[in-house]
Structure 1
Amino acid sequence: MAAIDDLLAHQRQTEALGQVMGRLGWDQETVMPKGAAEQRSEEMAALESVLHARRTDPRVGEWLSAVEPADDVQAAQIREIKRGHERAVKVPADLAAELARVTSMAQGIWAEARAKDDVTAFLPTLKQVVDLRRDEAAAIADGDDLYDALLQDYEPGTSGAEIADLFDRMRPRLVDLRDRLAGANMPAPLDGTFDTAAQLALSHEIAKTFGYSFDNGRIDLAVHPFSSGSGADVRITTRVDEAEPLGCLYSTIHEVGHATYEQNIASDLRLTALGQGVSMGVHESQSRIYENQLARSAPFTRYLYGRMATHFGALSASADEFAQVINRVETGYIRTEADEVHYNLHIMLRFDLERQLFGGQLEVADLEAAWNARFEADFGLKVDKPSNGLLQDVHWSVGLFGYFPTYSLGNVYAGCLHAALRRDVPDLDASLEAGDPAPALKWLRENLQRHGGLRTPRETIEFATGDEISEAPLLDYLDAKYGALFGV
């Protein structure tokens, strides 16, 4: 008994410190003074050193060798602690601290380079980040594939080869749907000026509609929207453009999907190894199903039309065409603004470039040219400026290599969950049209969210749906949805 008690008590403090470090990251991207960047990088490095020492503490290995789990929850906790410990002991402490320091500094350098459309100002820092992540991956991989080693941080149990096979199966149907929609008559985007305060007021209202608790969270502004924290303190960010209110609204809903997953995990799992989302793919399944299958559905957009008219006055689109406006399909540069048809094609580009970077076929100095060539080949557009190309995403600046494919895994998982949800909640459309997603939210909470990291990612989705994971439900949903909206 002593071994399991000591192990879990040690892990609880480690998890608490990890939340503190996450809060510093939130602060850095929202309210931290610009001049504090260098000091913050040292603070992050110091905290990472403490966390690394705790994760590699020899006593953790001794406790793991001695424990006998009393139930399935303890067995799952031991599984996750062991996985983290075995990874941490392979990474030198000075490398872990340096990664934390450099990626903290790199985020600000990226943001400034993006604002100025100056790739050359960012590439030396990006090379530092890539070199450090290569060193880390080499330490973890033990001679195996470097990119696969990085993937385990975000989607344990998957591999680059498996993801490549999935993308090969998805691409033909996505391209076919895109090509069919190219000939459809698309409505104009909303026209007008949309007050910042009104956008944020509507975002707060819709966040509550989708179950976000402001007793345990808050909404702030950031260059790149994100969700941070777990348990009793889960914060989200959004962004505002007064010419385009849907970006703020749907960014908020997306992040609410992440945040409510964390808020809804059973309270007795907080500050344990199971007290957060089990993987980024499963996390993305929540943000994507909230944003797309629920909030972009034709029934919910009929409700949303009235709420937008209340906040902004008369809209340039009619109620009858609003669902088409919300789901309009257009080839564009920006991943976060992409429609559901194009979105996964953006991810495939990033995935292939990442694998080449860590497979030795591509260097950072050649990354912009590779990006631009691939984008033109895939989307038929020449990249006009770096902020529409290589500099658009924050992920690589903070070392999140292996993260991007989890967005598409999340879409696939969301497709599976949506099919099961409609099977189990047959009157879903009626509740969505009434502006009441509660039946869907309850289904997701009970079947997936409250369990946290109890099961592996694949087991989590298969437990929730009662079926094997497949890309078919997502692709069938896209064909049916866009066929109905645009007659293709």
Structure 2
Amino acid sequence: MSAYDALMAFQRETEALGQIAGRLGWDQETVMPRGAAEQRGEEMAAIEGVLHSRRTDPRIADWLEAAEAPDDEAAAQLRLIRRSHARATKVPAALAQRLARVTSTAQMIWADARAADKVADFLPTLAEVITLKREEAAALAQGGDLYDALMDDYEPGATAAVIGGMFDRMRPRLVRLREAVLAAAAPPALHHHFGEPAQLRFARDLASRFGYDFTRGRLDLAVHPFSSGSGNDARITTRVVETDPFNCFYSTIHEVGHACYELGIDQDYLLTPLGNGVSMGVHESQSRIYENQLGRSPAFAGWMYRQMLDRFGDFGVASPEAFARIVNRVQPGYIRTEADEVHYNLHVMMRFDLERALIRGDLQVNDLEAAWNDRFAADFGVAVDRPAHGLLQDVHWSAGLFGYFPTYTLGNVYAGCLHQALRGDIPDLDDHLARGDTSAATGWLREKVQRHGGRYEPRDVIARACGFEPNEAPLLDYLDAKFGALYGL
């Protein structure tokens, strides 16, 4: 067996164990009994110890030195293994295990605090998570920027300076568009009851229509919708609010975008480093383009309108055009995951600034709620009415996902570029979407982006698909055109 073959055989076992760890996380968020939280923390710490030991195994360095890549795909495998090994060896095993244990239990503490609207119940645990993440960042950064070191886990090569500069360029146009839209006549809100069973039936149908393969996945309920897994087991979750069906439908479509990325990766890459999405920014480009540019397009909204009439009866909306405006209703809201396309990136920019300040030590945990509320009032013109609508709304910090938030907007930027290229290649796309047929678009995305998995660097994936370097202009132009037409600006 060559050094390359030995390394890949070892790596396949590590990838399989990583999938098991992910399944434990899925179980915790969906069906695990509440009383099992402490035990699950021990289980997660144990498997993280095994994974860390494998990722830092000294044989990896020997294999990497001796391995010769027979082709470009093998060279990409070695590049990703080398990167993972270099990062893993910088983090002490005890710290990796403690982080796994603390973040597992922290998510249950966060969920309880959110349900009770009691920030004080969560802050001590959050402080512990932040302390551990700063230790991890210091180990990874080795004298460099702590936040950049954490962000590299989710978007390799990205830096806070570059992302912050992009956000600074985007914010003025987003704010101008928001002010113009809010000054126009707003569509009415829905006033109807949409039962949970019927919502979930339609959610499953929507998932299938967007190409989700239920023989390799499943749909469950969760407090905070997410997708989990890769290869041939990619699961999704949603949530139901019986007065707001779009919460369920678009959460489902969003998570389908994530899952279809994983399911669409070349099967030859199964249980290898190339067998996962290349970055969270590229991952978000898939979920956001499925949800927004496709799912919220006026053409697809027209098909959805007819479906909802058949399934729910008259729900007080007179026409497909009125329905499209309701689906794309712009209003300042508390919740990021429910935000319209105009406000969404402003939510992300706020979190980016706050979490970067936390990691750098410029903001203390005990001051976080006040900082959140002040910034939200300044950015959205609305006072936070309760912690569940403010600091406690997102699961990310309890899970230790510092550096993740900016990838949401980066994903929107990538989606804007992909949408421009997609429209150029499929000029009659709206005709397909008006029939509820997404296959032309999802097939294009599978061919151009998804099948490659981790083979190329994140920005290279988008540039290869689009034929130009990714930038924020296509997204901003798309938002101006779409909402200008919907609101008569």
TM-score by length of 1: 0.99
Report deviation, 1:2.
1.2
Q: Map residues 189-228 of structure 1 onto 2, 5 A cutoff.
A: 189-228=189-228
Structure 2: segments with no counterpart, 5+ residues:
none
Q: Partner of 1:378 in structure 2?
A: 379
Q: Partner of 1:399 in structure 2?
A: 400
Distance 1:359 1:108 in 2: 26
Q: Partner of 1:345 in structure 2?
A: 346
Distance 1:359 1:318 in 2: 52
Report the secondary structure of 2:272's partner residue: coil
Report deviation, 1:190.
1.5
Q: Partner of 1:389 in structure 2?
A: 390
Q: Map residues 162-241 of structure 1 onto 2, 5 A cutoff.
A: 162-241=162-241
Report the secondary structure of 1:321's partner residue: helix
Report deviation, 1:187.
1.1
Distance 2:84 2:307 in 1: 45
Q: Partner of 1:56 in structure 2?
A: 56
Write the letter of the residue equivalent to 1:371: W
Write the letter of the residue equivalent to 1:387: A
Distance 2:310 2:76 in 1: 48
Q: Partner of 1:16 in structure 2?
A: 16
Structure 1: segments with no counterpart, 5+ residues:
none
Residue 108 in 1 paired to residue 108 in 2?
A: yes
Q: Partner of 1:82 in structure 2?
A: 82
Report deviation, 1:402.
0.3
Count of equivalent residues:
488
Residue 437 in 1 paired to residue 449 in 2?
A: no
Report deviation, 1:483.
0.5
Report the secondary structure of 2:236's partner residue: strand
Distance 1:395 1:441 in 2: 28
Q: Partner of 1:356 in structure 2?
A: 357
Instruction: Provide, for residues 355-374 of structure 1, a one-character-per-residue CA deviation record: whole Å limited to 9, x for no partner.
Output: 11112211111111111111
Q: Partner of 1:428 in structure 2?
A: 429
Q: Partner of 2:272 in structure 1?
A: 272
Write the letter of the residue equivalent to 2:19: Q
Report the secondary structure of 1:274's partner residue: helix
Report the secondary structure of 1:188's partner residue: coil
Distance 2:326 2:334 in 1: 19
Instruction: Provide, for residues 228-268 of structure 1, a one-character-per-residue CA deviation record: whole Å limited to 9, x for no partner.
Output: 00011000000001111110000000000000000010111
Report the secondary structure of 1:99's partner residue: helix
Q: Partner of 1:156 in structure 2?
A: 156
Report deviation, 1:115.
0.3
Report deviation, 1:316.
1.1
Instruction: Provide, for residues 159-214 of structure 1, a one-character-per-residue CA deviation record: whole Å limited to 9, x for no partner.
Output: 00000000000000000000101111111122111010000000000100000000
Q: Partner of 1:256 in structure 2?
A: 256
Report the secondary structure of 2:215's partner residue: coil
Report the secondary structure of 2:479's partner residue: helix
Report deviation, 1:433.
0.3
Report the secondary structure of 1:314's partner residue: coil
Distance 2:419 2:412 in 1: 10
Distance 2:161 2:305 in 1: 43
Report deviation, 1:94.
0.3
Write the letter of the residue equivalent to 2:267: S
Q: Partner of 1:448 in structure 2?
A: 449
Residue 118 in 1 paired to residue 154 in 2?
A: no
Aligned-residue CA RMSD (Å) = 0.6
Write the letter of the residue equivalent to 2:415: A
Distance 1:21 1:332 in 2: 35
Report deviation, 1:275.
0.3
Write the letter of the residue equivalent to 2:392: L
Report deviation, 1:56.
0.1
Distance 1:444 1:484 in 2: 26
Report the secondary structure of 2:420's partner residue: helix
Q: Partner of 2:27 in structure 1?
A: 27
Distance 1:120 1:332 in 2: 24
Report deviation, 1:376.
0.6
Report deviation, 1:318.
1.6
Distance 2:339 2:475 in 1: 16
Distance 1:418 1:30 in 2: 33
Q: Map residues 442-481 of structure 1 onto 2, 5 A cutoff.
A: 442-481=443-482
Distance 1:308 1:71 in 2: 51
Report the secondary structure of 2:216's partner residue: coil
Distance 2:435 2:383 in 1: 43
Write the letter of the residue equivalent to 2:476: L
Instruction: Provide, for residues 406-431 of structure 1, a one-character-per-residue CA deviation record: whole Å limited to 9, x for no partner.
Output: 00000000000000000001110000
Report the secondary structure of 1:362's partner residue: coil
- Could you tell which deviates more after superposition, 68-77 or 410-419? 68-77
Percent identity between the aligned chains? Answer: 65
Distance 2:391 2:126 in 1: 11
Distance 2:92 2:377 in 1: 41
Q: Map residues 121-136 of structure 1 onto 2, 5 A cutoff.
A: 121-136=121-136
Q: Partner of 1:94 in structure 2?
A: 94
Report the secondary structure of 1:144's partner residue: coil
Instruction: Provide, for residues 382-415 of structure 1, a one-character-per-residue CA deviation record: whole Å limited to 9, x for no partner.
Output: 1111001000000000000000000000000000
Q: Partner of 2:46 in structure 1?
A: 46
Write the letter of the residue equivalent to 2:486: L
Report deviation, 1:459.
0.5
Report deviation, 1:450.
0.5
Distance 1:213 1:420 in 2: 26
Instruction: Provide, for residues 334-376 of structure 1, a one-character-per-residue CA deviation record: whole Å limited to 9, x for no partner.
Output: 1011000000000000000111111221111111111111111
